[in-house]
Amino acid sequence: MILFFYNLALFATLLVAAPWWLFKMATTHKYRHGLFRRLGRVPARLLCADPRPVLWLHAVSVGEVLAVSRLITELDRVLPAYRLLVSTTTRTGQDLARQRFGRERVFYCPLDLPWAVRAYLRALRPQLLILVETEFWPNLLSGCFRRAIPVAVVNARISDRSWPRYRRLRCLWRSFLGPLGCVLAQSATDAERLRAIGCDPARVRVAGNLKFDVRAAAEAEATRALRRLAPGLRFVVAGSTLEGEESALVDAWPRLLSADPNLVLVLAPRHPERFAAVAALLDASGRAWSRRSLWTPQAAAPVIAGHIVLLDTIGELASVYSLAAVAFVGGSLVAAGGHNPLEPAQFGVPIVMGPHYANFRAIAEDLLAHDALRIAQKDTLDAALLDLLREPGAAAALGGRARQVFEQQSGATARSVAAIRGLLSAEVAAP
């Protein structure tokens, strides 16, 4: 009955929003990309002659794809009898997943419409669905349960921002979450919240955060290029920035250069659709700058001191952090919940974030507890960066503590692999 009313509300919403969606599809390519596949047309490449049973893993976007990269590698290694397919929701996630795992096994997750979900479940006949974080879609979950397909959730979390909404609707969620096969939470707080909204307490356990196990897969071409084009210079790398943060960094740039004229600023906006806006901001600033996407091995001008580099590519930021004398992790000066400070922590880079880190609260608080992270307000960002640039010894110690936290908290991948293998074994053993 709950699913009936959910679908009724979903169709009503789609009907009301149809003019807006039609306008967006007519004017913006990203809204058209993969549309028919999201509506239920299964890509032919997924219907190959490979006889192995399918494991379907769903990771929403870039952050989730990065988080499960090592998990997928391990599952491929320990479960060669299965064919692991990966779905994403966003186009940027799709592009990165294809780059990391191969186009032949990556596809867009269907919209949570009954016929679209049904088409994929019939075509793929997965032995297990693995959801990353909290991708709880009622039709997808119900479709799996009706077909006796077990569902595992890895790296599960409920953010501070989402928690009040889940708590209000916990009586509705219970029927969708109770049958989950296993739920591997990032932290004890996440586990408590997941039990409170309807997950079977016996199937919820704390496995840790997969992002502590993420390593830069390989040195990116951008990293090699920056090392070649800017020998002897120091880098301030600002990653996953949002609107308002790039302007704050550009405003602070003259003060940073006054402390150390041999600096280069690398700006990596979180969303590709903002690359043009950030480019316009840099044009207006009057500063020397260049776009990473225009570099080629044959044609790339030297990067001089005081230069700003716009990192307008996908999948290179984690590696570029390795060059940083100091890193700023964005989405945190504005009320957006922050982004992952572990990407620079793995390299022992000193890290500065703003006060808005709710999406990574457990990680940020662990780093803070070990004096491995600096928090700055918008008006004190330049001072926080300057302190670390002026005191290389203190900066190195801060970065060293961050790397130590990163190493100590690893192990979520191994625990997730063990749980997934156990769930598959239980299904095989069931009469």
Catalytic residue set: 64
CB atoms within 10 A of CB 22: 11
In angstroms and rounded to an integer, the radius of gyration of the C-alpha atoms of the chain is: 23
Give the distance from CA 257 to its chain's centroid: 32
Of the candidates 296, 367, 285, 290, which has an alpha carbon nearest to the alpha carbon of residue 327? 367
C-alpha dihedral (170, 131, 341, 378), degrees to nearest 10: -50
Helices 170-177, 138-146: axis angle to 10 degrees equals 30
Distances (CA, A) of 410 to 199, 208, 213: 25, 8, 5
Could you identify the residue written with the tokens 């077990």?
150
| CA-wise closest residue to 227 among 316, 309, 323 | 323
Residue 199 C-alpha from the chain's centroid: 24
Q: Where are the alpha helices (DSSP H) in 178-308?
A: 188-196, 221-229, 245-259, 275-285
Residue indicated by tokens 């997965």: 126
What is the rounded CA–CA span in Å between residue 291 and residue 303? 11
Q: Which residues partner with 375 through β-bridges?
A: 353
Report yes or no: 328 and 236 within 8 Å, Cβ to Cβ: yes
CB atoms within 10 A of CB 276: 11
Residue 326's beta-bridge partner residues?
236
Taking the CA atoms of residue 147, residue 149, residue 154 and residue 158 in that order, the dihedral angle to the nearest 10 degrees is 20
**Cα diameter, the chain:** 72
Number of other residues whose CB lies within 10 A of the CB of residue 104: 13
Q: Which helix (H) or strand (E) holds 261?
A: none
Torsion angle, alpha carbons of 181, 184, 189, 195, to 10: 0
Lateral strand order in the sheet of 308-310: 289-291, 308-310, 263-269, 234-241, 324-329, 351-353, 374-375
- Is residue 343 a contact partner of residue 363, using CB atoms and an 8 Å limit? no
Instruction: State how far the Cα of 75 lies from the Cα of 71, in Å rounded to an integer.
Output: 6
